[in-house]
Structure 1
Amino acid sequence: MKPSSIFILLLFFILASCSVETQKTNPVNDQLIQYIQKRYKTSEVSSIIGSESKNGKTNTSLLITVGKSNVIDSSKSDPQLFASDIAFRQFCDMKEQERKKYDMITVKINQRNKVTEVNYTKEKLLEVNVNLLWLDGFFRLIEEKEYALAKTQFNPKLVDTSTVELESIFEAVHTNLGKLNRHELQGFEIRDIKVDGKTYRVLQANYIFFYDEHYTQAKYAVLMDEPEQKLVNFLIQ
C-alpha cells in the first residue's frame, strides 16, 4: 500500500473516532419561556445545553438563566424557591426520552447584587414529582370534604391529629372564597427537621390556590424517607 493511502486511512480513522461536541442554545420550549417571562416579569430568559468532564465522566446539563426580574429582585423569598419552580416545570415538560439526555437541570438567577445557581438532578426532581402527586391526592380529599380520611394523611408520631381542625379551616375558606378552580406549584424546598433527636427529610411545597372570589397561598410539608408519605404540617396564608 502506498504511503499516501496509509495516511488517508489513518486520517479517516482519527476523524471517525473523534466526536465534536455542539452546544444547543435555547432548548427550552416557548411555553415555558412565556411562563417565566409572565410569572417573573422579565424578558431576560436564555437556555443552553452544556457538558462537563470530571474524573473520566461526562455530565450533561440543561442550564436556564433568568435575569432582570422585578418579581425576584423585590421578593424576600430565597431565590432558590424560584429556581425550583423553573427547574420542576422544565422537568415536567420533558418526555422520558428527553430526560435521559441530561444528568441535571441547572437554574441560574442573576440579580442586582448576587447570582444564585442551583443544580437539580433528574433523580431528585422525580422524587419531588412523586411526593407532589401524593399531595394532589390529599387536595382531592379536601375538595370532596373527606376530612376524616384526610386527617389520616398526617404522621401520627409527629402531629397530634386531635388538634388538626381540617373541617373548620377549609369550610371557612370555601365560605369566604367560593369554589376552588385550580392550584399551582410556586416552588419547593427540601430540608431536614429534628424531632426527639431524630432527623427527618421534608419536602416543603409552596402553592397558590385559585378560588372563585380570590386566591390563597399555602405551604405543605411532606415526609420523604418514611415507608409512607405523610404530612407534617401546612400553613394557609
Structure 2
Amino acid sequence: MLLLPGGAESCAGFFPGLVEGLPGVRVIQYDRPGTGTSTEDGSLAGAAAHLGAYVKGLDVGPVVVVGQSLGGAVGVLLAREHPELVAGLVLLDPTPVNDPKLCARIERMTRVLGRLSAVPGLGALLGKGFRAAARRGARDLRPDCAAALRRTANLDIPTLARAVVGLAEVSVRESELPRVPAVVVTADRKPGHAVRRAHERLAAAFGGRLVSWPGATHSVHLDHPDEVLATVREVVAR
C-alpha cells in the first residue's frame, strides 16, 4: 500500500491508526520531492513519474494507493500514467484533478495565500488562525487524530503553494483512467456541489463507487478514521 498525504505534508503520522490497522500489509510511507521531509526539489507535474520509478525500484508489484486531498490527485495521476502499478485506489476527498476550472481556482487561491504569508506580520496571523481552527476541530476527535490535525495546522504555506503549482495543467480526462477497484470518499456536501460532482465522475471513470459519511470534512481520515480503515481493508481484500 502506498500512502499519499494531502498538501505538502509528511507521511509520518498523517493517517493515524491506518498502518497499525492493516497487519500483514506492506506499507510505503514516502515523502515525494517537494513535500514533507524530502530535501529534493519536485513538482506536481513530475510526481507520477517519480513515484512510478520509485515503486518499480522497490519491486513490490502493484500497490493499493491511499491518498487524501492533493495526495489523492497524485494517486489519480499515477493510475493514469502507470496503470500497471496500481492495484486499487482509496481517494479521500481528493483534489478534483478531473475538473480544470476547480483546479485553476484552487491553484490561484493557494498562490494568493502564499503571497500573503510572506507579508511581515500577516504570515504569523495566518498561522495563528490555522492553529485556532485546528484546536476547535480537534475537540471531538480521537486523541491520535486530534494530534494529527493540530500538527498539520502548522503548515508551511510557501511549501504548500509550491506543491500546488501546475495543478490546472495536469488535469485528467476521465476517459484516460483505467478500470480498477476504487472508492472515492467525498466530504459531506450537498448533492449538486461542484466538488462532489467531480468526485462522482472520478468514481465512475474507475468503475468504483462514491461514499460519503454524515459530518465528514475534508480531513475525513481524521474525523472518520474507522470508516476509512474499513474502506481501505475492503479495497485491499479485493
Judge same fold: TM > 0.5, yes or no: no
Which is richer in helix?
A: 2
Q: Specify which structure has the bigger relative contact order, considering alpha-carbon pairs within 8 angstroms and separated by 6 or more residues.
A: 2
Rg comparison, structure with higher value: 1
Q: TM-score range by the shorter chain?
A: under 0.3
- TM-score of the pair, normalised by structure 1: 0.21
- TM-score of the pair, normalised by structure 2: 0.21
